[in-house]
A and B are shown apart, each in its own frame.
Chain A
């Protein structure tokens, strides 16, 4: 397990595209003190390494059914209504700062 320090936390935050104030990193570092102790509780379970990780509550063949990639007519939404949620748009497209000047 990677040792936790402020730089690691800053790295984790930047991967998620945000930052925090210095004192907020301090709070988080303190919180990690408790979380690390809680995580150690997982090591107390006997035979944990012998089991497979579980990703979903149960295995259901219907979850993995491959479906035809067809648009559902009743789900059609109004393009204008959707675009209004993008604050800046023009000619039916969302506008972003120029990539190439």
Chain B
């Protein structure tokens, strides 16, 4: 066992008790990053990270700062001062921000050490981990590299699952943290909309984008939340509410938990279903009230089309600043219009262009009512329905994905219920800004799958509490490719 395979909390204790130095952790993290076989990394920050680690070695480790000397990785759509930030797109090759995103700044102030930036689907638009300019990110649970990790926070998921670092930053617009967390056996959390600042995150779809992260335990996720949950005047959607500390988590039982019946009905994988049913039985035995609730399937089936329209439409305007003039990978032309055209034409990949065209189509004046506004009405219906459920329950749960990680060439039927409902319902969390977490639920033939828990807005603490109870019942705390191998060896 290496100290880097511990959770943040355990790593912190080892630092406080002088069992290990910050530089030992950082050296190991760099070594693992250098041996990365799964294409997880963009720019690296090794030298500066190591220098910082040596500086921290000289200081007494403060007992009350969990992040002191902890190595981490940030998705490459966070602005990092002095470090190239591309968002996984050729249009931003060579772009070096002159400021830090607020979350990067908070982590820096608390002496966490950024080791590298991670790969992602281009500009965070996509769920496969295949579309970024560095190519495919592979699932570290399959060393033959035949399975995907999912996206868009693909490299960050790899980095935490393969234990390069104990946590990594991601962003979540539809399920871009919580879905790869399912395929990677991780805790993946996105907060209530408005609680963690998005200043310095490259915007994809502002009404849906959330900053979140991957960890290997629920406690670690709660600890990080307390650091990052800060009002930020630079983010116009930063809320003045909901600033309570959540850690240490309360161990209350007797929660009221709803199970989304239609999501379960649309899952075919028997192992995922039986693991889920086992967990429900255990939750009931612990004194929780667990009940199936229904949402009209026509509402759930409309989730994905509404999502793709709203997100693509917002993406067209959110990415209008990528013109190569003020920053980015400028391509010359005979006029400023030509500079913009050539920069965008060469800088965006085909896939991203297709998404933009869909967004542009939805926003055409002839289509506004029939496409764009209709999608926004669907959003309202979904959120109202879910809030109705939250009048009677603390949260709703279901498997976070209907399958384990996809193999490289797997094709899904984009019109069947499994795809439309079970593969896309996590977007509910983004529609309503609900706090939502994925935790490991089981492992099937060496590939993990997760459980999703979603709660009321500003009730992030309850989501963590229920997640912790589930984590105790599944006994899958601190799952990683390293710890799974160790477990199997025993």
Q: Which residues of A contact B (CB under 8 A)?
A: 1-2, 4, 8-9, 12-13, 15-20, 24, 27-28, 31-32, 34-35, 37-39, 41-42, 44-46, 48-49, 51-58, 60, 62-63, 67, 72, 75, 77-78, 81-82, 84-88, 94, 96-97, 99
Task: Name the A residues within 8 Å of B88 (CB-CB).
Answer: none
Partner of B328, one of A45, A55, A57, A85: A85
> Is B353 part of the binding interface, using a Cβ–Cβ cutoff of 8 Å?
yes
- Whether B207 lies near A55 (C-beta < 8 A) is yes
User: Which of A2, A24, A45, A82 counts the most chain B CB atoms within 10 A?
Assistant: A45
- Whether B239 lies near A60 (C-beta < 8 A) is yes
> Is B247 part of the binding interface, using a Cβ–Cβ cutoff of 8 Å?
no
Task: Name the A residues within 8 Å of B337 (CB-CB).
Answer: 17
Q: Which residues of B contact A (CB under 8 A)?
A: 95-96, 98-99, 193-194, 207, 233-234, 236-241, 296, 298-299, 301-302, 304-306, 308-309, 316, 323-328, 330, 333-341, 344-345, 348, 350, 353-354, 356-358, 360-361, 364, 366-367, 370-371, 373-381, 383-384, 414-415, 420, 430-434, 457
Task: Name the A residues within 8 Å of B328 (CB-CB).
Answer: 85
Whole-angstrom CA separation of A85 from B384 in the bound complex: 44
- Whether A38 lies near B360 (C-beta < 8 A) is no
Task: Name the B residues within 8 Å of A82 (CB-CB).
Answer: 98
Task: Name the B residues within 8 Å of A17 (CB-CB).
Answer: 323, 337, 340-341, 344-345
Partner of B420, one of A41, A60, A77: A41
Q: Please, could you name 13 A-B residue pairs with CB atoms under 8 Å apart, sorted by A?
A: A1-B366, A4-B361, A18-B356, A20-B350, A42-B306, A45-B299, A53-B373, A54-B380, A54-B431, A57-B433, A75-B234, A77-B99, A87-B330
Give the interface SS of chain A, mostly helix, strand, loop or mixed: loop
Whole-angstrom CA separation of A15 from B356 in the bound complex: 10
Task: Name the B residues within 8 Å of A53 (CB-CB).
Answer: 373, 376-377, 379-380
CB within 8 Å for A57 and B193 given contacts A39-B309, A48-B381, A63-B236 = yes
- Whether A31 lies near B339 (C-beta < 8 A) is no
Partner of B354, one of A15, A27, A46, A52: A27
Whole-angstrom CA separation of A34 from B304 in the bound complex: 12
- Whether A2 lies near B380 (C-beta < 8 A) is no
With both beta carbons as reference points, the residue of chain B lying nearest to A60 in the complex is identified as: B239
- Whether B361 lies near A45 (C-beta < 8 A) is no
Whole-angstrom CA separation of A39 from B304 in the bound complex: 9
Task: Name the B residues within 8 Å of A63 (CB-CB).
Answer: 194, 236-237, 239
- Whether A94 lies near B376 (C-beta < 8 A) is no
Partner of B339, one of A4, A12, A44, A97: A97
Task: Name the B residues within 8 Å of A67 (CB-CB).
Answer: 233
Whole-angstrom CA separation of A77 from B296 in the bound complex: 51
- Whether A1 lies near B415 (C-beta < 8 A) is no
Task: Name the A residues within 8 Å of B415 (CB-CB).
Answer: 34, 37-38
- Whether B234 lies near A62 (C-beta < 8 A) is no
Task: Name the A residues within 8 Å of B375 (CB-CB).
Answer: 42
- Whether B326 lies near A45 (C-beta < 8 A) is no
User: Smallest Cβ distance from A11 to chain B, in angstroms?
Assistant: 8
Task: Name the B residues within 8 Å of A38 (CB-CB).
Answer: 304-305, 308, 414-415, 420
Whole-angstrom CA separation of A87 from B324 in the bound complex: 8
- Whether A45 lies near B241 (C-beta < 8 A) is no
Whole-angstrom CA separation of A19 from B298 in the bound complex: 36
Task: Name the A residues within 8 Å of B240 (CB-CB).
Answer: 60, 62
- Whether B298 lies near A41 (C-beta < 8 A) is yes
- Please list the 7 inter-chain residue pairs (A to B) with the smallest Cβ-Cβ separation, ordered nearest first: A57-B433, A53-B376, A85-B327, A54-B380, A12-B360, A62-B240, A44-B298
With both beta carbons as reference points, the residue of chain B lying nearest to A43 in the complex is identified as: B374
- Whether B302 lies near A41 (C-beta < 8 A) is yes
